[in-house]
Chains A and B, each alone.
Chain A
């Protein structure tokens, strides 16, 4: 039942067209990736006449996207695990425990949100270089953790605040230490929030290009998104292979979006309503 009466259908037309406009570029790319070069030059929009994997194989092996993909997976997994661990510890302390200086520490974490990466990137690059962490996995992982930690703490703190303190008290009476409460109760109870925040952080790290460009200069350590940027020069004449490379980089995100769309949206929404 529409709450917008008579005009409702009139609005549905442009809104459907817009929905088409947000989906079509990806569909177009998938279709082009399946075409031969000749097919693409003759007609850009026609459906590929067969599902072909050759272009994808070319992009995978000759550009080295396979290697970049492994780099990305390693860095993203390590970053997300660290973010969730450090972020949930801090969120539990700030959201559930009472101690001197807690609000000052919470505000300090929030203040970091106002210093985006572009503002600190020059000195950060220097700090990383001095520590010998440029062009290493730990360096990039640390940079990602530092970048997305304030947001993670913010969300985990707001989530843990909603858990009644009676639960902790009961667990303490049962003889648990604070750490025991964290490990046996807060981590499992925090699972829905950890899932949402974890997926969001994984997307942020996976999609990043600036931090990776800055801290991973050598070709062998390149992450997938940086690898994709190098496709353009190499395959400007071979559009189907170019589209295949883009598709390889997009597939993990497509899969995550298909299955976990709600958790992603919940994470974004939680960041806004708890503010």
Chain B
């Protein structure tokens, strides 16, 4: 740690410090004890030195850009680069049908959120209750969660192509072909479906970790009382796992808002007719393709606000749950 070294040699240790080690006193003043005392100071600074790289990286590359971005969203693009334009970017943003479509799709995701949480929740419940074969399911269900969205998207491009295998199978049983990724009324549902297929394993693992903390005697009691499976889920499992459920809600929502880029990029590129835009894809297009960084910053700020609302909602839900207990 060169930093610590230079600090101690420049600044002497302050007086009046109590030494804990008594055998230190007889040491002659000068070199050795100086280094020792310098070492003590270094020890006290140690936590800060250990944290310095982390703080530096997080402040410079995470928190500072956040401030910069909000600032940036009030300035202009192109000819007006660097000049303050007030709310112009936001006005343009909300007038842009593509961005409005992206926000509508966010609304759709919010509506589908309970389904995306219920699927891993129910499956984890069945696995916990030892459905026949319960040892095998987790490995299978969790598998797509480790694959890159790019790989998942590429595989489904192949499966869902108009002349691809899925339509061939459906054709075999007499169902006409659907243009899964080319029909604006269908494409967004397909992409969200693929996202859920790829990520429900994450939620499942989190739920199973939650079940590990569940008091099994409650379940036995419910069984002795003759509770049916739906009754057990509603009155025993859901209340006991309320924290886990909320955690999965929030992480699933954040996942939907921030990790579908790869799928959109590979599967639809925002099309057909802009029907599969999400804010993150819009930001990418404006920044990378249209050279409109200030407009992209405004979209980023809106996305950040949406995520903040999700976070605050989580906190208020948690508080209410704690009060109920």
Contacts and interface: CB of A to CB of B under 8 A. Distances in A.
Contact of A3 (B58, B130, B197): B130
A121 B299 CA distance: 11
Contacts of B293: 122, 125-126
A122 B300 contact: yes
Interface string B216-260: 000100010000010000000000000010011001001001100
Interface string B54-91: 11011011111110110010000000000000000000
A21 B141 CA distance: 9
- Classify the interface of chain A: helix, strand, loop or mixed: helix
A224 B208 CA distance: 33
A232 B168 CA distance: 21
23 contacts: A3-B129, A8-B130, A12-B132, A18-B140, A26-B147, A28-B159, A92-B50, A111-B63, A112-B58, A112-B62, A112-B63, A119-B66, A120-B66, A121-B283, A123-B297, A150-B62, A177-B42, A178-B50, A207-B262, A209-B265, A210-B261, A257-B143, A275-B247
Interface residues on B, range: 35 or more
B189 interface: no
Interface string B289-310: 0000100110011011001100
Interface string A93-128: 110010100100100110110111111111111110
B61 A143 contact: yes
Instruction: Give 4 closest A-B pairs by Cβ, nearest first.
Output: A207-B148, A269-B209, A146-B61, A19-B140
A4 B136 contact: no
Given A209-B148, A272-B209, A90 B51 contact: yes
A70 interface: no
A239 B154 CA distance: 11
A8 to B, nearest CB: 5
A9 B132 CA distance: 6
Nearest to A111: B63
